[in-house]
Amino acid sequence: MRAFSTVELLRDLKTVTHAATRAPVTITQHRKPRFVLMAIEDYEKLHNPHPDPRRAYFTSETPPELKELLGKELQKIIDGDGDE
């Protein structure tokens, strides 16, 4: 992990934040690691490593491939072919 001092952070915020977008960086005070700066996406992955893949859609937002799949399955139910 790349490290920057608090002085470097204050002098060159752009460089430090740019490095943090690529990988978390350590911020040191008095040569000791004190903080970690990272992109929000990296933080969210740490905070919730197994996000729920389920998603709710408004009818108007439903992706075409999902509309087609749902339409076929609903038609099976309507036709009576969906019973097992």
Whichever domain contains 37, its CATH number is 3.40.1620.10
Q: Report the domain count for the chain.
A: 1
Q: Which domain holds residue 38?
A: 2-79
Q: How many percent of the chain have pLDDT more than 90?
A: 62
Residues 11-48: pLDDT tens digits?
A: 999 999 999 999 999 999 999 999 999 999 999 888 87
Q: What is the pLDDT of residue 81?
A: 73
16 touches 8 (CB < 8 A): yes
Pairs from 36-43 (Cβ < 8 Å, separation ≥ 24): 36/1
> Quick check: is 7 in a domain?
yes
pTM comes to 0.57
> Quick check: is 62 in a domain?
yes
Three-point CA angle 47, 48, 50, nearest 5°: 150
Q: Which residue, among 66, 24, 64, has the nearest Cα to 44 in the 3D structure? A: 24
> Quick check: is 27 in a domain?
yes
> Quick check: is 84 in a domain?
no
Pairs from 44-48 (Cβ < 8 Å, separation ≥ 24): none
Q: What is the pLDDT of residue 83?
A: 59
